[in-house]
């Protein structure tokens, strides 16, 4: 099964305290969002991935903000089950292809998507989605590139997520709104679970 089809929303998590990782992952899974992207932007990120991979097997934990082959190696060593990058360099793509787990390399233009499609990649992250052209841009890409599917991320909110999810070339969206820093700092996992439940219902709700 494709990463893009696990859930309508992939929570994009910036984690400051690895001690919050396990209860956070349990709350997201309970809310119906099993695919969890931990961004490699903080010193706690790799440890957080390691803890979730070890203690929350029902979660599909992956690494985001993967920028270098070294990031790929660190993520895999921690147990990451998928990789997401904001953009794509030749060396990063080579490392992702070799990783043996699903990956969503980042693109923002038709040329970048075509360059990856030439290498056989058919699923990508569209980033930064709102700033790079949003729903209109993605819809326009579906004509010439009907075989490429995207996970738009960057500026997605509960208000605009449904418009993205209605596009034929969008499998899921990514966003940080489900795990705001203030709720993580407060340990408010009940509220996070509620945000996850609402996000999980985005594809089917009217």
- What part of residues 120-149 is at the interface with ligand 3PG (CB under 6 A)? 127
Tokens of 41: 């932007």
Least distance in Å: CB of 129 to ligand 3PG?
8
What is the distance between the alpha carbons of residues 151 and 193, in angstroms, rounded to a whole number? 22
User: Per rule CB under 6 A, is residue 85 in the interface with ligand 3PG?
Assistant: no
CB 86 within 8 A of CB 67: yes
> What is the nearest approach in angstroms of ligand 3PG to the Cβ of residue 124?
13
Which of 4, 7, 12, 45 binds ligand 3PG (CB under 6 A)? It is 12
167 contacts 139 by C-beta, under 8 angstroms: yes
Cβ atoms of 116 and 93 closer than 8 Å = yes
Choice from 20, 39, 169, 179 touching ligand 3PG (CB under 6 A)? 39
Our CA angle for 12, 15, 20, nearest 5°, is 115
Structure tokens at 6: 């696990």
Binding positions for ligand 3PG, 153-172, rule CB under 6 A: 153-156
Q: Which CB sits closer to ligand 3PG, 20 or 153?
A: 153
Q: Which residues are annotated as catalytic?
A: 37, 125
Whole-angstrom Cα distance, residue 133 to residue 112? 14
Cβ proximity to ligand 3PG: between 65 and 169 the closer is 65
When asked if residue 176 is in the footprint of ligand 3PG (CB under 6 A), the reply is: yes
What is the size of the binding site for ligand 3PG (CB under 6 A)? 12
Q: What is the DSSP letter of 108?
A: -
Q: By Cβ distance, which residue is nearest to ligand 3PG?
A: 176
Could you give the CA distance from residue 34 to residue 36 in angstroms, rounded to a whole number? 6
Tell whether residue 8 is a contact of ligand 3PG (CB under 6 A).
no
Q: Are 135 and 163 in contact (CB under 8 A)?
A: yes
Which residues bind to ligand 3PG, rule: CB under 6 A? 12, 39, 64-65, 127, 153-156, 174-176
């Amino acid at each position: 099964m494709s990463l893009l089809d696990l859930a309508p929303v992939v929570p994009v998590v910036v984690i400051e305290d690895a001690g919050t990782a396990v209860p956070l992952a349990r709350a997201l899974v309970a809310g119906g969002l099993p695919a969890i992207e931990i961004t490699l932007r903080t010193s706690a990120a790799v440890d957080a991935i390691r803890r979730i991979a070890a203690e929350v097997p029902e979660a599909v934990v992956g690494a985001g903000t993967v920028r270098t082959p070294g990031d790929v190696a660190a993520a895999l060593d921690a147990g990451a089950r998928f990789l997401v990058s904001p953009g794509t360099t030749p060396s990063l793509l080579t490392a992702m292809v070799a990783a043996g787990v699903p990956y969503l390399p980042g693109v923002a233009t038709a040329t970048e998507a075509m360059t990856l499609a030439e290498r056989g990649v058919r699923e990508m992250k569209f980033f930064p989605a709102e700033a790079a052209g949003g729903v209109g841009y993605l819809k326009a890409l579906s004509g010439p590139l009907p075989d490429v599917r995207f996970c738009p991320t960057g500026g997605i909110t509960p208000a605009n997520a449904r418009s993205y999810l209605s596009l034929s070339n969008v499998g899921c969206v990514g966003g940080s709104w489900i795990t705001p820093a203030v709720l993580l700092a407060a340990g408010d996992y009940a509220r996070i679970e509620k945000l996850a439940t609402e996000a999980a219902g985005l594809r089917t709700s009217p």
